[in-house]
Amino acid sequence: MNYRFSRRDFLKTAGAATLSALAAGYAPRTRAEEAIEPITPTADTLIVLWMAGGMAHTETFDPKRHTAFETGLASDKVLSTFQPIDTAVDHIKFSEGLENLAKVMDRGTLIRTYTGADLGFILHSRHQYHWHTGYEPPQSVACPHIGAVIARTLGPLNPDMPAFIDIGQRFEVGESEELKAFHTAGFLGTEYGPFFIPNPEDSQAAVRPPAGMTPARFQNRYKAYKALAEAGPIGQMGSAYQQESLLRALDNAHRLLNSPAATAFDLSMEPKEVYDRYNTGRFGLGCLLARRLVEQGARFIEVTTEYEPFKNWDTHENGHTRLVEMKRLIDAPVAQLVLDLEERGLLDRTLIVLASEFSRDMVTEGKPEKLVKDQVEVPPIMTEPKHYGMHRHFTDAGSVLLFGGGVKKGYLHGLTADERPCKTIEKPVILSDLHASLYQALGISPRTNYEIESRPFYVTKDGLGTPITELFA
């Protein structure tokens, strides 16, 4: 590990956080924290690799019988459009196109039975809100993103590094307002909100002076500011408290911008061959950035393939060809991230989770036994290659891949049906329990709660999430 923080630094930060929470007056306060048993964490950092738009399990980590395309093929005959491949673990098969990940499966745990919420109507934004906050929208309070919960509960790992870093999602796309609604700390307050790196290929923009400003000018501006603040009539305008909290916030910001941690954002410092290995596109570079940030002590990072309606994993047609590309996008960089963290001795304390809001199927929309509004036209007989792929939204099984942070190595959890509907048969995993497992790995009780308007808000829904102990070594 190449980061070390002195206890003194930690206390300084913790003290500041407590002070600012007190000062906020009506800031959320923890309830019943004393009653919650301490949990020994197995991870310091969580990385969420978000497969936005619905990643079909039968096309990725849970392959079923393969049927090649031919004109006139009945849609309901097709379970997988890719051939299965072997992985480093005998009894676990992946889909073709994930060869690099297949090689590192012996480092991880695969859940095949994530079952999504039943919202009566498939909506990516609502399911994504649910996955990221633990609560099905709408809610009467602004629910915090899990990254914000972790930032609030654990604080930064390296005091110079924002505790919640969100990589790759731009908000100029369709449904952007719905996306913004959960990319937030909600009622916990903006202190715990996401530090956005929308463009990982230009991640340094987030930590360098504004465009056109030299570092020297940036420093001088801040120095002059502090001199003016000191020279100003503090007492006359009220207590010194405002002065202090504003100055402290600015100090924190400038400390980040000038700290060694900021160099983590500079991908140009990577050797070319490493950069190229990761560079399958924006997502791949996001993974490289995540690795660099973990090396500098990041607490929570999300890297997304980016949600944009009908793009990326959101395949309403041409599912097969699109997935060739999506798998190419994730396969090498995610595998490399695992290997690099392992090589640096950081994988043991970094939990990586690769997940999606739901899966897809060629025939079933939603859950098999429920009738929900059909959102995709799927002809019963395929006449063109664009019909070949998983185009409907399926919520009754989905794959979640975990590495590091104390999870078992080479472990497979759950079983899905081999015939349509390829639904969960054994060991269903619901979101609260998945979140409880992630939180537990970080040492956070699923019953941790924060007060809002005199009511407790639990970090897993109603505090009922139960960690899945089988996932951990």
Partner 1 sequence: MNLRTPILCLFAVTAITGAGAGEKPGLPPPNAGNIDFATDIHPLLEARCASCHGGGKSRGGFSIESRETLLKGSETGPVVIEGKSAESRLIHVVAGLDPDVVMPPKEPRLTPEEVGALRAWIDQGLPWTLTATAALAWTPPLEPRRPAVPEGPQDNPVDRFLDPYRAAHSVVSPPPISDAQFARRAHLDIVGLLPSVKELEAFRADTAPDKREKLIDRLLENRQGYAENWISFWNDSLRNDFQGTGYIDGGRKQITAWLYQALYDNLPYDQFVAQLVNPTSANEGFVNGIVWRGTVSAAETPAMQAARNVSQVFLGVNLKCASCHDSFVNEWKLADAYGLANVFSDTPLEMVRCDVPQGTMADTKFLWPQLGTIDPGRPVAGKRVQLARLITSETNGRFTRTLVNRLWAKLMGRGLVEPLEDMAMEPWHADLLDWLATDFADHGYDLKHTLRTIVNSNAYRMPTVRADPKEIPYVFRGPEPRRLSSEQFLDALASLTGTWPEAAQFNLPNAPQQQPVRAWRLNADPLSRALGRPNREQLSLKRDEQPTTLQALEIANGATLASLLDRGAARILKDEPPHPDDLIERIYLHALQRLPSNEEREVAESILAPHVDSEGVEDLLWALVVLPEFQYL
Range 214-233, binding partner 1 (CB under 8 A):
217-218, 220-222, 224-225, 227-229, 231-233
Region from 90-98, 104-112, 132-140, 280-288 binding partner 1, contact rule CB under 8 A? 132-140
Per-residue burial over 127-159, b if 16 or more Cβ lie within 10 Å, else e, is bbbbbbbbbbbeeeeebbbbbbbbbbbbbbbbb
Tokens 């673990």 correspond to: 89
Tokens 């379970």 correspond to: 79
Cβ-count burial of 93 within 10 angstroms (0-12 exposed, 13-18 middle, 19+ buried)?
middle
How many residues sit close enough to partner 1 to count as binding (CB under 8 A)? Answer: 98
Is there binding between residue 454 and partner 1 (CB under 8 A)? yes
DSSP-derived secondary structure letter, 386: G
Q: Which of 98, 110, 154, 207 binds partner 1 (CB under 8 A)?
A: 207
| Least distance (Å) between residue 378 CB and partner 1 | 20
Q: Tell me whether residue 77 or residue 180 sits nearer to partner 1 (CB atom).
A: 180
Range 246-265, binding partner 1 (CB under 8 A):
246-250, 252-254, 256-257
Q: Do residues 71 and 377 make contact, with C-beta atoms less than 8 angstroms apart?
A: no
DSSP per-residue codes, 102-151 = HHHGGGEEEE--B-----SS--HHHHHHHHHHSSPSP-SS-PPPHHHHHH
Is there binding between residue 311 and partner 1 (CB under 8 A)? no
Range 157-176, binding partner 1 (CB under 8 A):
162, 174-175
Window 422-441: contact mask with partner 1 (x via CB under 8 A): --------x-xx--------
Range 105-124, binding partner 1 (CB under 8 A):
119-123
Is there binding between residue 211 and partner 1 (CB under 8 A)? yes
Is there binding between residue 14 and partner 1 (CB under 8 A)? no
Q: Do residues 455 and 424 make contact, with C-beta atoms less than 8 angstroms apart?
A: no
Q: Which of 6, 37, 70, 90 binds partner 1 (CB under 8 A)?
A: 37
Q: Tell me whether residue 74 or residue 224 sits nearer to partner 1 (CB atom).
A: 224
| Least distance (Å) between residue 196 CB and partner 1 | 8
DSSP per-residue codes, 65-115 = -B----TT-BGGG-SBSS-EEE-SSTT-EEETT-HHHHHHGGGEEEE--B-
Q: Tell me whether residue 225 or residue 310 sits nearer to partner 1 (CB atom).
A: 225
Is there binding between residue 360 and partner 1 (CB under 8 A)? no
Q: Do residues 217 and 209 make contact, with C-beta atoms less than 8 angstroms apart?
A: yes
Is there binding between residue 177 and partner 1 (CB under 8 A)? yes
